[in-house]
Amino acid sequence: MSEIQELLKDIDTLKKNLNELIEKKNFNLQDSEIIKASQELNIAISKYNDLIVKKL
Examine residue 22 and state whether it is found in any structural domain, yes or no. yes
pTM for this entry? 0.91
Is pLDDT above 90 for 31?
Answer: yes
Examine residue 42 and state whether it is found in any structural domain, yes or no. yes
- Residue 17 makes CB contacts below 8 A (sequence gap 6+) with 37
Mean pLDDT value across residues 20-43: 98
Examine residue 36 and state whether it is found in any structural domain, yes or no. yes
Examine residue 4 and state whether it is found in any structural domain, yes or no. no
Residue 25: the pLDDT is: 97
Residue 56: the pLDDT is: 83
Q: Are 47 and 7 in contact (CB under 8 A)?
A: yes
Number of domains making up the chain:
1
- Name the pLDDT band for 19 (thresholds 50, 70, 90): very high
For the chain, what is the mean pLDDT? 96
Is pLDDT above 90 for 1?
Answer: no
Examine residue 9 and state whether it is found in any structural domain, yes or no. no
Q: Are 38 and 18 in contact (CB under 8 A)?
A: yes
